[in-house]
């Protein structure tokens, strides 16, 4: 007799080195829906000290998995490989580094591609809308599971920076230091508009089918186009002038297809995401969560919402960031200082745009390492 469960589609797999934290308790989202439990994929590097006071939580960007660095269980390079390790900025001789994939994501964490308990089929668009704050609350439960009462630091870039800020605001007693790189305290119209168009690219792919598709067989063309659009905002014009100029793929145009090196680069980036196994519905949910992010939500004002962060804070903005312009990070740091918080702002002049934290690693390490080394409020 055939087992019907054997024919059910599987969600994108977790990285080989990931562990799964499973919370069987109901999880109520910010907008009032309820999940009957959930799981978060996570990886760790270094050792938790006897006093459990050396933990750093590293928060991921939109399409990243928990695999931030290589390990014995998974020797493939992680997405922030050079920032974590012996003697690195996140020094595993001193710190216990935890990186978890987010609620609503994929690669092992519960999200739209996960099976719904009611019928075993993927949640799809039945999955409840989640916010950055929901992700932070789920991560707090992971910290409880690991026995970490207070973080030495929480670190994140882009969507990860939003999570770091949310953790600092929701759990001020649990966060000694907050590092937010290329992340504002709320989303502004330009980034909202860009993500809206990206979601439209996915949802207008016929294969999307209202979110009903088998994991791994989703709207790959729409996902490719969404990443191509996003990549335009992740890098900068000055970098592309230096890198590509007007270099051609062929001596003379023969049709309306790609002719320039920069076009080929966008195509490669789209294919890279589509080929990674990243779930298209997760892309929709996580990008929407970024749109909804606002530390002022539920507070008397934006300033009051930011002031809920009591941690020593490092805010890093990039001068060529198109997605989250540097003035948004300047504003965040200014509001923190006006609220009497200890907040440092670093304006990094680099041609690499929003994605600079993935590329200009040595310069980011030079900023992050001394901040983590400074004597200050102890966990």
At residue 8, the pLDDT reads: 55
What separation in angstroms does the CA of 201 have from each of 36, 106, 236, 285, 375?
A: 31, 20, 22, 14, 48
Q: What are the catalytic residues? A: 158, 321, 354
Domain boundary among 287, 302, 328: 287
**One domain, residues 34 and 143:** yes
178 and 197 both lie in a single domain: no
pLDDT tens, 17-75? 999 999 999 999 999 999 999 999 999 999 999 999 999 999 999 999 999 999 999 99
Domain that holds residue 201: 192-287
**Which of 287, 312, 327 lies at the terminal end of a domain, its last residue?**
287
The mean pLDDT value for 132-158 works out to 98
CA 279, CA 290: separation in Å to the nearest integer?
Answer: 17
Scan for tokens 């000694």, then name that residue.
176
Convert the pLDDT of each residue in 353-362 to its tens digit: 999 999 999 9
Q: Is residue 103 part of a domain?
A: yes
Q: What is the CATH number of the domain that holds 273?
A: 1.10.1740.110
Q: What is the mean pLDDT of residues 307-325?
A: 98
Residue 358 to residue 76: CA distance in whole angstroms: 16
Query: pTM for this structure?
Result: 0.94
- Count the residues in the chain: 379
- Which residues are CB-neighbours of 240 under 8 A, at least 6 positions away? 262
Task: Count up the domains in the chain and report the number.
Answer: 2
113 and 224 belong to one structural domain: no
134 and 239 part of one domain:
no
């Amino acid at each position: 007799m055939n087992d019907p469960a054997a024919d059910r589609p599987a969600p994108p797999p977790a990285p080989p080195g990931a562990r799964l934290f499973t919370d069987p308790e109901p999880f109520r989202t910010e907008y009032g829906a309820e999940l009957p439990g959930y799981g978060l994929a996570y990886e760790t590097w270094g050792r938790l000290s006897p006093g459990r006071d050396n933990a750093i939580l590293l928060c991921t960007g939109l399409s990243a998995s928990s695999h931030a660095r290589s390990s014995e269980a998974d020797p493939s390079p992680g997405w922030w490989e050079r920032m974590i390790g012996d003697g690195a900025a996140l020094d595993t001789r001193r710190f216990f580094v935890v990186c978890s994939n987010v609620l609503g994501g994929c690669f092992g964490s519960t999200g739209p591609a996960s099976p719904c308990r009611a019928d075993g089929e993927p949640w799809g668009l039945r999955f409840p809308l989640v916010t950055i704050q929901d992700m932070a609350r789920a991560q707090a439960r992971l910290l409880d599971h690991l026995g970490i009462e207070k973080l030495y630091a929480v670190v994140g870039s882009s969507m990860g920076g939003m999570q770091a800020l949310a953790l600092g605001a929701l759990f001020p007693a649990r966060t000694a230091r907050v590092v937010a790189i290329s992340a504002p305290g709320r989303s502004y119209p330009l980034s909202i508009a860009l993500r809206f168009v990206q979601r439209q690219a996915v949802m207008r792919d016929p294969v999307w089918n209202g979110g009903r598709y088998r994991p791994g067989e989703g709207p790959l063309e729409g996902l490719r186009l969404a990443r191509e659009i996003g990549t335009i905002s992740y890098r900068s014009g000055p970098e592309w002038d230096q890198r590509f100029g007007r270099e051609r793929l062929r001596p003379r145009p023969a049709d309306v297809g790609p002719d320039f090196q920069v076009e080929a680069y966008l195509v490669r980036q789209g294919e890279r995401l589509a080929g990674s196994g990243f779930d298209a519905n997760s892309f929709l949910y996580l990008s929407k969560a970024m749109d909804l992010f606002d530390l002022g939500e539920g507070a008397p004002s934006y300033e009051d919402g930011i002031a809920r962060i009591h941690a020593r804070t490092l805010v890093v903005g990039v001068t060529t960031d198109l997605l989250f312009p540097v003035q948004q990070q300047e504003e965040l740091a200014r509001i923190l200082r006006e609220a009497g918080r200890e907040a440092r702002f670093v304006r990094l002049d680099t041609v690499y745009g929003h994605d600079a934290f993935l590329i200009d690693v040595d310069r980011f390490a030079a900023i992050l390492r001394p901040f983590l080394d400074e004597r200050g409020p102890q966990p």
